[in-house]
Amino acid sequence: MDISLFIEKLALCLPGFLFAIVIHEAGHAWMAMKFGDDTAKYQGRLTLNPAAHYDLVGTVIFPLIGLMMGPIPFGWAKPVPVDPRRFKKMKAGIFWVSFAGPGANILMALISTILFAFFYTKLPLDFIVRKELIKMSEYSVLINIVLAVFNLIPFPPLDGSKMVSTFLDYNMARKYEELQRYSFVFILLLWFTNIFSYLLQPALYLGYAAMNLFVWMMG
């Protein structure tokens, strides 16, 4: 591996990656507060400060390995504490708090798409960091799409499974949650087969289509 190319790619990916995992957790914390649980707020997690959400494995080690092995980094932040017993409406709270993380990533992907189109169409060709800003915003789109799609997979303990559990009765929900014991095997299966890439393809296609659309609209 060319170390200089790796450092360049890391620098271009890092802003999008850090903001993606931070806004994911802040989204959970913000929505939990809206439903009556301020636990995350009082533990200092309702913030966009990466230091408050930092996790050694998920924020540093795993993303670096992912970047060495693949096109973009993948990782996570420290999960925010949520107490569903404090929700004004428990099932609705669990659903929307769970969706808020991936939802924040979808919103961030859209914002990054607009930034990509702006940098591509409005910056002069001789602007000193034009190429870097375009690539940085493209990476941000892709990273946020990957995180959103991954977390929406309905397999415990991912956010998608918590959303699905709100539609199940108590006994079915408990049996469903027991699948969590196989989560490590499931994640390995996703990453070392083509299953996840198949799930990603439609979302990535939409991401690139949106980038092209905004470039056309701003051009």
62 Cβ contact partners less than 8 Å away, ≥ 6 residues apart: 74, 75, 76
Q: Rounded CA gap, 200 and 148, in Å? A: 10
With vertex at residue 74, the alpha carbon angle to CA 72 and CA 76, rounded to the nearest 5 degrees, is 150
CB burial class (10 A; 0-12, 13-18, 19+) of residue 70? exposed
Q: Active-site residues: which are they? A: 25
Helical H segments across 35-158, by residue range: 39-42, 50-53, 62-69, 90-122, 130-151
143 Cβ contact partners less than 8 Å away, ≥ 6 residues apart: 13, 16, 17, 20, 72, 73, 74
Q: How far lies 28's CA from each of 14, 16, 143, in Å?
A: 22, 18, 18
Helical H segments across 35-89, by residue range: 39-42, 50-53, 62-69
